Structure 1
Amino acid sequence: MRLMVAERRDEADGVISLVLEAPGGGALPAWTPGAHIDLHLEDGLIRQYSLCSDPGDRGRWRLGILREPRSRGGSKQVFDKLHPGDLVEVSGPRNHFELRPAARYVFIAGGIGITPILPMITHAERAGTPWTLLYGGRSRCSMAFTGELTRYGDRVTLVPQDEFGLPDLARPLGKAAEGTHVYACGPEPLLNAVTAQMHDWPPGSLHTERFTPRAASGPDEPFQVEFVASGFTATVPPDRSILAVAEDAGVAVDWSCREGTCGSCETAVLGGRAEHRDSLLSGPEREAQDCLMICVSRAEHGCPLLRLDL
């Protein structure tokens, strides 16, 4: 789709919001809380940003975007070149952080991780489902959208690190609660701490979204991939991905981020076992061994052959 930037606002230090609309008006595709879209920028750059507007508003999509100090060009382009009236190519939406029905929600956000949480709160409010939010950031002035969160009173706890230190996760997560689902989005140290705090919670209680890829563990090894639908087998060397090998062979594949954070290249596993290196699949989804992200994931150590539906 080709959408127009209708609004641009400063939301915090280093954070802006963009509101996108169809150039001639009209409804945009429906989406659910947790969804993201791809922005197709100059020089072939594609970047994923969470939708943080009201899912019930089909006329506009809002994005919250952090200017990354170590940007590889994506956020710099957005900040420097996208202004009201400009057009931008967009694809999606897709959702790998789906809000599931629950008796109660605990939302935990760090920094720009607040963006997918905002529509989840809107949904929970409309459904009458109890919820709380713990929202941390480096400083109060770096934390976006705090103004619109004030309407929720003491259900929202703001924890600027320069005032209060790190968030106290024991308060919302200290006691396992049947029927409560926890949704957390933010930097890796926060997500690791949340995971550790919830070690005795019922399986499936925690749902996370990462904005950066997981670190690989151990050296890479060559392995074979049978591209079942295409009818051939190829070797994936240690320094290449399944996606790259598929492209070299002329296999039509979808991709966007190439770092396991968007889900565009999700592919069905028909045989063998994968070593999952993406930042999307949950523990049970990894154990199911029925799909993988071919941009980063590989064959499990000791598995010489993966059979994929490609």
Structure 2
Amino acid sequence: MTDNQTPQQMRVIGKEPAAAGVVAVTLADPDGAALPNWEPGAHLDLVLGDITRQYSLCGDPADGSSLTVAVLREPNGRGGSAFVHDKLEVGDLIGVGGPRNNFALTAAPSYLFVGGGIGITPLLPMLRRVDEGGLPWRLLYGGRTRASMAFADDLTAAYPDRVDLRPQDEYGILDLVSALDAAPPGTAVYCCGPEPLLQAIESACRDRDHVTLHVERFAPKQIDAREDGAFEVELSSSGAVVEVGASESVLDALLRSGVAVDFSCREGTCGTCEVAVLAGRPDHRDSVLTEDEQAANDAMMICVSRSCTPKLVLDL
């Protein structure tokens, strides 16, 4: 979270188990004020001690009085989930940024939702919205075990004919090919989950023109940075030129030069640091922009993306 971006203070009004290793956290304004509007696919930035982490909203967008996220304990994580599970208590005040939405629900004649583990969270408001609109949809939901799959019982109770629960210890890996082949033409596919699932569904959708894939990553892509070189960034508002070293990000170079820019995750997953590109060709390394958006080369995430040209001109 940047120094010039003040997070809103919210109070924890609920914290309860949602599955083995998952807690649902509900937040509200401490004075009872209405909360910001949001749409399915949005996430929050939670300030957890001295770190900021992003979590998808999984409640009801029509509820202006509270916001809910679900957090999986990550044994090998960087401290965010441990803070939520072990330190965060009902009644606590925490800083909250957003909501922001890099995974917006688009109009389509039908939908296939594919969730892996905690990746179910951004899909919950989506499928509710689609169901309320009377559109056809299905959910393919996988996890390590049935007990680890958050909100599984609620989903099967509410939508018994539309939800396919596939715990891995009972069914093996998700049968993406069958689900995609059964999807009607024009189906929008929304998928969130661990990287192997996202890579598998991206591969499966490349040869299936009857569906349109939308994915959200909650972990950064792995990039080989061994051959990175230096380049220049020009600020369009002033003409100032900042050199970006081979071992630093555009974001760090700008901050080093005293340029105030918004940022949060520093790993290309939240979209906070998006900046318009006016000239030059970015080397896209984010997990936010779609392939088509990256190909347009008119925006970049300055916390991870670099340059394919000696200079980039940014709208700063």
Could you report, residue by residue, the CA deviation over 1:83-106 in whole angstroms, capped at 9, with x for unpaired residues?
Answer: 111111101000000000110010
Q: Give distance in 2, aligned partners of 1:175 and 1:144.
A: 26
Q: Secondary structure at the match of 1:109?
A: strand
Structure 1 residue 114 displacement after superposition: 0.3
Q: Which range is displaced more, 290-299 or 234-243?
A: 234-243
User: Does the 8 A contact of 1:176 with 1:201 survive in 2?
Assistant: no
1:160-239 aligned at under 5 Å gives the runs 160-174=167-181, 177-202=184-209, 205-217=212-224, 219-239=227-247
Is 1:248 the counterpart of 2:262? The answer is no
- Structure 1 pair 125/86, CA: closer, same or farther in 2 (3 Å)? same
Q: Give the residue type in structure 2 aligned to 1:262.
A: C
Aligned pair count reads 307
User: Does the 8 A contact of 2:205 with 2:211 survive in 1?
Assistant: no
Match of 2:74 among 68, 82, 85: 68
- Structure 1 pair 91/190, CA: closer, same or farther in 2 (3 Å)? same
1:75-94 aligned at under 5 Å gives the runs 75-94=81-100
User: Does the 8 A contact of 1:277 with 1:297 survive in 2?
Assistant: yes
User: Does the 8 A contact of 2:112 with 2:183 survive in 1?
Assistant: no
Aligned counterpart, 2:5: none
Is 1:298 the counterpart of 2:306? The answer is yes
Q: Give the residue type in structure 2 aligned to 1:208.
A: V
Q: Give the residue type in structure 2 aligned to 1:35.
A: A
Could you report, residue by residue, the CA deviation over 1:53-103 in whole angstroms, capped at 9, with x for unpaired residues?
Answer: 011111111100011111211111111121111111101000000000110
Structure 1 residue 231 displacement after superposition: 2.4
Q: Give distance in 1, aligned partners of 2:207 and 2:125.
A: 28
User: Does the 8 A contact of 1:34 with 1:51 survive in 2?
Assistant: yes
Is 1:261 the counterpart of 2:269? The answer is yes
Q: Give distance in 2, aligned partners of 1:79 and 1:6.
A: 15
Q: Secondary structure at the match of 1:101?
A: coil
User: Does the 8 A contact of 1:36 with 1:94 survive in 2?
Assistant: yes
Aligned counterpart, 1:118: 124
Q: Give distance in 1, aligned partners of 2:300 and 2:238.
A: 18
Q: Which range is displaced more, 213-222 or 260-269?
A: 213-222
Length-normalised TM-score, structure 2: 0.94
Q: Give distance in 1, aligned partners of 2:283 and 2:55.
A: 26
Q: Give distance in 2, aligned partners of 1:246 and 1:110.
A: 37
Q: Secondary structure at the match of 2:16?
A: strand
Q: Give distance in 1, aligned partners of 2:34 and 2:132.
A: 21
Q: Give distance in 1, aligned partners of 2:76 and 2:204.
A: 30
Could you report, residue by residue, the CA deviation over 1:119-143 in whole angstroms, capped at 9, with x for unpaired residues?
Answer: 0011101111111000111111111
User: Does the 8 A contact of 1:177 with 1:201 survive in 2?
Assistant: no
Q: Which range is displaced more, 195-204 or 33-42?
A: 195-204
Aligned counterpart, 1:2: 9
Is 1:99 the counterpart of 2:105? The answer is yes
Q: Which range is displaced more, 99-108 or 217-226?
A: 217-226
Structure 1 gaps, min length 5: none
Q: Secondary structure at the match of 2:161?
A: helix
Could you report, residue by residue, the CA deviation over 1:118-173 in whole angstroms, capped at 9, with x for unpaired residues?
Answer: 00011101111111000111111111011210110131111111111101011211
Q: Give the residue type in structure 1 aligned to 2:98.
A: G
Q: Give the residue type in structure 2 aligned to 1:193.
A: A
User: Does the 8 A contact of 1:174 with 1:197 survive in 2?
Assistant: no
User: Does the 8 A contact of 1:176 with 1:198 survive in 2?
Assistant: no
Structure 1 residue 42 displacement after superposition: 1.1
Structure 2 gaps, min length 5: 1-7
Could you report, residue by residue, the CA deviation over 1:202-250 in whole angstroms, capped at 9, with x for unpaired residues?
Answer: 3981100001111114621111111222421122111100000000111
Q: Give distance in 1, aligned partners of 2:259 and 2:274.
A: 14
- Structure 1 pair 202/28, CA: closer, same or farther in 2 (3 Å)? same
